[in-house]
Amino acid sequence: MKTAVITFPASNCNRDAAMALEKVTGEKPLMVWHRESELPEGVQFVVLPGGFSYGDYLRCGAMASRSPIVKDLVEKANKGLAVAGFCNGFQVLTESGLLPGALMRNKGLKFVCRPEKLKITNSNSRFTSKYGTTTDVTFPVAHHDGNYFADDETLNKLEKQGQVIFRYADNPNGSARDIAGICNEAGNVFGMMPHPERAIDPLHGGTDGLNLFKSIIESI
Amino acid sequence: MDIKTKITPQIVAEHGLSEEEYQIILDRLGREPNINELGIFSVMWSEHCSYKSSRRHLGKFLTKGDRVIQGPGENAGVIDIDDGDAIIFKMESHNHPSYIEPYQGAATGVGGIMRDVFTMGARPIALMNALRFGEPSHWKTKQLVNGVVAGIGGYGNCVGVPTVGGETNFHKGYNGNILVNAMCVGLADADNVFYSAAKGVGNPIFYVGSKTGRDGIHGATMASAEFDDDSEEKRPTVQVGDPFTEKLLIEACLELMATDAIIAIQDMGAAGLTSSSIEMADKGGVGISLNLDKVPQREENMTPYEMMLSESQERMLMVIKPGKEKLAYDIFEKWELDVALIGKTTDTGRLVLRHNRKKVCDIPIAPLADDAPNLDRPYEIPASLPVLNSDEVHETQDYDDALVRIISSPDIASKRWIWEQYDRHVMADTVDSSQSGGDAAIVRIHGKNKAVAISTDCTPRYVQADPYMGGKQCVAETWRNLTCVGADPIAITDCLNFGNPERPEIMGQFVGAIEGMNEACRAFDYPVVSGNVSLYNETNGVAIPPTPAVGGVGLIPDLEYFTTLKGAKEGDTLILIGETQGWLGSSIYLREILRREEGAPPPVNLETEKLNGDYVRKLIRNKRVNAVHDCSDGGLAIAACEMAFAGDIGMHLSRAIGCPTHAWLFGEDQARYLVAVEENSVNPVISTAQAKGVSAQIVGKVGGDRIKADGAFDVSLAGLREKHEGFLPELMS
């Protein structure tokens, strides 16, 4: 299956994301540069990787969300293309309007990097279906601006429609209602601050992240 | 300062040049230098750039070995780790700037050391740091810790290189001069390493990266003098970092390096454009002619003096093969970096600078390097403090309390507050990091089943008590730490932090420490491949404790065989490899419980170190041990606690053998490893040790949820962990 990872200036988890995709699909993903104006033909799943796109200047993810490639991505995502954003990628997704809410500075004001226990709150989503009866997973977090915020109406709606996919067991950043990962109404766009792509290898962060990639790939 | 500035004795003195040094300049030029030329001589001959006090002593180090591709003298050292892979690494200090402006000082320290590594063709794969702060109660400490840690994290996290380990000490000796030593490890193709010698005449010289501003002018000179009460006024000499540009610079340089376009490359670090151009020309035996009007500038009306001495960050100088100019332009433009053709190599052997169509500098290059002062400063190696017998060290009446006090003391307490601010996992190859509190960080070679192990170490209180023995110990401890994870130690980098070398006792600490270090390097066949010297770490005449920080790198050839301190299991037997005499001189017990800082440090027997270490490595390769941890600060008791924390399991130490209980538990004898072994491996481990002449004895059991020692302490693991974790959050809250 053709997958792609978009690389912005100062993306830094593009390699991590590529490894995860290769491990699950058996094929190297296409690495797409931010200045491209169109995604390559036939791509079925796109990852927006973590990092500090454009140096996090202005607001995290804000400049990347205005890049030529993201314009095309938004159009295609609105027509059903599967997209996931991790960490900075999640920030790009909220900035581009594909996902609701915003990510603010961590409540503790410091960068935080640690393995974080998460609760799967919707195991029927396209990104979690393979987890079966598993309710807890551990993914590393590594961010300075992961404090998820949205107004109550939006949060209520997200919860009611099953769009909250993961919650923190021990909230590291002050996110509203412990939200760690959400998807859009249609269920094809997903974003989370923790790094499932750094949990695909027993020697490095465990393997809890594999099923997330398997779920979405299988759903396509 | 413009070209019309008259050179007075006062101006010469302000540039840190002595009368003799100025006379050499007059002799070599046959005339008075102009202000630009004076500035260039001044930075090139500063302690920071010329190593004038240390050079003759550094020459004694073992620098060659089977795996050494490049030793000291380039931007970083290069070692061979088989399969066509090379590891490029170096450690460097950023002490003075970090004290003046902690965030930017530390951040640019990280940026600078990364550039040293990717300049040579390596992708940085790991960062480490060795930090020393003043006593926790000092009014400045909290602010400095905050700023330094945020700066290291802010830079490394953004660039996307994991910060995998390090060490942090607190001592009043650093109240006026903190130490920020950063180490970077990179991975390159062994046959595609880049050097700085600018070969050939008429080749184009490219400037790439950030624009040049007025920041950091004379930073190298600042780092070559001691502080006084007005040091804060030196803030303008501190550089400002931009990790975003650094990340782009890494990617762009590596992309260009994958083509066949670069003849030589050098980063603009200390003394910026001056030292980079002179080093390239000097090593290549050529001259250099630069047109300063072409230098990308951030500010208006910059003078040649400012441009040549600016230490603006994230800049590189490279000599490109003729005909490859367009390729270079295309790549740097793709990464949206400034790129400019600013000059060419010449056959004159001179550095010629033009500005506004006028020649503003014309000096021979060789004297800048060859005639750089090489001082033989008087030194007196301090004798070791007298040996303290254990009967001169009171036994505590309350072991539970003593254990808690030590485990929560500044140097021993958990540094989670620090390392949780560092991205330790980015690049997806971190096998072990500070997270487990282990002996060495383990970073996998991407796409392969082997890894490098990295450790930074120094025990300044030992070096203070006996520079020679302490120097030996620093090297031995890194070697031991690499051994603990099953790595073959290969080579070291060092960062030699001392006070004012003009004082014979300080110079004596320096010389003594180097002799000790070198002896250990030779005993282990463990050469020094890169390093840095930071002198004048003193304020108002008070020097820091001598701190020769060592960064060791080793190879784990097969990730099937490695250990950490995490793996101890219920029912495992604890075996102590190495002999215990109960050495309490200069120990943590003495300092934290009795508030005494005295006594000779524990002797390091290099033969025993080697014997014991080789045996432990063999046990790991034979899968005989579940967990390994070296006994260092705080002795056996603290080693057991740390193993317990990492494995989340209790430990029970048996009764003291052959020495008083407090010396048994807290003595800091060297060459010792605590290993956790399954029942059926106990006999083979002990009998093989005996056969090899290695001391090995059963010292306890793994299991339960308490930390116990017969006749001493008995505390809950959870309670002790709380104390261990509590110190830094409390200090920083």
CB-based contact A12 B444, cutoff 8 Å: no
CB-based contact B428 A197, cutoff 8 Å: yes
- Predicted confidence band of residue B141 (pLDDT cuts 50, 70, 90): very high
- Which tens digit of pLDDT belongs to each residue from B357-368? 999 999 999 888
How much is the pLDDT for B214?
Answer: 87
CB-based contact A52 B244, cutoff 8 Å: yes
B486-513: average pLDDT: 98
- Closest CA of chain B from A191, distance in Å: 18
B62-89: average pLDDT: 97
Q: Is the ipTM of this complex over 0.85?
A: yes
User: Can you give the pTM of this predicted structure?
Assistant: 0.96
Helix axis angle, B141-159 to B102-118, nearest 10°? 40
B493-509: average pLDDT: 97
Helix axis angle, B141-159 to B243-257, nearest 10°? 40
- Which tens digit of pLDDT belongs to each residue from A34-49? 999 999 999 999 999 9
Here the tokens at position A114 are: 């640690």
- Told to judge if A113 belongs to the known catalytic residues of this protein, a careful annotator would answer no
pLDDT at B374 over 70: yes
CB-based contact B150 A110, cutoff 8 Å: yes
Candidates B153, B242, B431; nearest CB to A111? B153
- DSSP notation for B233-265: GGGGGS----HHHHHHHHHHHHHHHTTT-EEEE
* End-to-end Cα, chain A, rounded Å: 9
Q: For chain B, how long is the longest CA-to-CA vector?
A: 83
Confirm if A11 and B426 have CB atoms less than 8 A apart: no
How much is the pLDDT for B222?
Answer: 60
pLDDT at B437 over 90: no
List all residues of chain B from 399 to 428 with a beta carbon under 8 Å from chain A.
Answer: 419-428
Of the candidates B184, B202, B283, the residue with the CA atom closest to the CA atom of residue B275:
B283
- Predicted confidence band of residue B369 (pLDDT cuts 50, 70, 90): confident
CB-based contact B425 A140, cutoff 8 Å: yes
B59-70: average pLDDT: 97
Q: In chain B, what residues touch A106 (CB-CB under 8 Å)?
A: none
How much is the pLDDT for B231?
Answer: 66
SS3 category, B179: strand
pLDDT at A184 over 70: yes
The secondary element (H helix, E strand) that includes residue B531 is strand B528-534
pLDDT at B502 over 70: yes
Work out the mean pLDDT of chain A and round it to a whole number. Answer: 96
Q: In chain A, what residues touch B245 (CB-CB under 8 Å)?
A: 55
* Residue B142 CB burial class (10 angstroms; 0-12, 13-18, ≥19): middle
- Which tens digit of pLDDT belongs to each residue from B557-603? 999 999 999 999 999 999 999 999 999 999 999 999 999 999 999 99
A89 at interface of B, judged by CB pairs closer than 8 A: no
DSSP 8-state assignment for residue B634: T
* End-to-end Cα, chain B, rounded Å: 46
Q: How far apart are CA B22 and CA A215, in angstroms?
A: 73
pLDDT at A193 over 80: yes
What's the one-letter identity of residue B673? Answer: Y
CB-based contact B423 A113, cutoff 8 Å: yes
Here the tokens at position B498 are: 């001392």
Of the candidates B616, B417, B606, the residue with the CA atom closest to the CA atom of residue B515:
B606
- Closest CA of chain B from A110, distance in Å: 7
B243 at interface of A, judged by CB pairs closer than 8 A: yes
How much is the pLDDT for B367?
Answer: 85
Candidates B336, B421, B446; nearest CB to A110? B421
How much is the pLDDT for B220?
Answer: 63
pLDDT at B370 over 80: no
pLDDT at B223 over 70: no
- Closest CA of chain A from B431, distance in Å: 5
* Residue B24 CB burial class (10 angstroms; 0-12, 13-18, ≥19): middle
Candidates A142, A197, A204; nearest CB to B429? A204
How much is the pLDDT for B234?
Answer: 62
A to B CB pairs, distance under 8 Å: 93
How much is the pLDDT for B236?
Answer: 63
What's the number of CA atoms in the CB half-sphere (13 Å) around residue B409?
24
Q: In chain A, what residues touch B559 (CB-CB under 8 Å)?
A: 203
Query: Which pairs from B76-79 meet CB under 8 Å and 24+ separation?
Result: B76/B116, B76/B117, B76/B119, B76/B120, B76/B122, B76/B184, B76/B186, B76/B493, B76/B529, B76/B530, B77/B491, B77/B493, B77/B528, B77/B529, B77/B530, B78/B120, B78/B188, B78/B193, B78/B529, B79/B490, B79/B491, B79/B529, B79/B553
How much is the pLDDT for B641?
Answer: 98
- Predicted confidence band of residue B144 (pLDDT cuts 50, 70, 90): very high
Q: How far apart are CA B657 and CA B700, in angstroms?
A: 12
What residues have CB less than 8 Å from A75, skipping those under 6 apart? none
B247 at interface of A, judged by CB pairs closer than 8 A: yes
Confirm if B11 and B44 have CB atoms less than 8 A apart: no
How much is the pLDDT for B224?
Answer: 65
How much is the pLDDT for B233?
Answer: 64
Give the CA distances from residue A26 to residues A1, A126, A214, in Å, rounded to whole numbers and listed in that order.
8, 20, 11
Q: In chain A, what residues touch B157 (CB-CB under 8 Å)?
A: 52, 111, 113, 142, 144
Domain ranges of chain A: 3-219
CB-based contact B431 A140, cutoff 8 Å: no
- Which tens digit of pLDDT belongs to each residue from A46-59? 999 999 999 988 89
- Predicted confidence band of residue B297 (pLDDT cuts 50, 70, 90): very high
- Closest CA of chain B from A54, distance in Å: 7
Give the CA distances from residue B638 to residues A62, B374, B643, in Å, rounded to whole numbers and listed in that order.
48, 45, 8
Give the CA distances from residue B196 to residues A211, A217, B283, B345, in Å, rounded to whole numbers and listed in that order.
48, 48, 7, 13
Of the candidates B55, B101, B89, B109, the residue with the CA atom closest to the CA atom of residue B535:
B55
| Residue appearing with tokens 């073959």 | B488
CATH of A3-219, one of 1.10.150.650, 3.40.50.170, 3.40.50.880, 3.40.1390.10: 3.40.50.880
- Which tens digit of pLDDT belongs to each residue from B652-705? 999 877 899 999 999 999 999 999 999 999 999 999 999 999 999 999 999 999
Active-site position among B15, B57, B94, B355? B94
- Told to judge if B629 belongs to the known catalytic residues of this protein, a careful annotator would answer no
- Which tens digit of pLDDT belongs to each residue from A71-123? 999 999 999 999 999 999 999 999 999 999 999 999 999 999 999 999 999 99
pLDDT at B237 over 80: no
Work out the mean pLDDT of chain B and round it to a whole number. Answer: 95
pLDDT at B325 over 80: yes
Here the tokens at position B104 are: 């930017």
Q: How far apart are CA B115 and CA B94, in angstroms?
A: 14
- Closest CA of chain A from B251, distance in Å: 9
DSSP 8-state assignment for residue B586: T
Percentage of chain B lying above the pLDDT 90 cut: 90
pLDDT at A140 over 70: yes
Q: In chain A, what residues touch B446 (CB-CB under 8 Å)?
A: 15
Of the candidates A15, A3, A97, the residue with the CA atom closest to the CA atom of residue A49:
A15
Confirm if B346 and B201 have CB atoms less than 8 A apart: yes
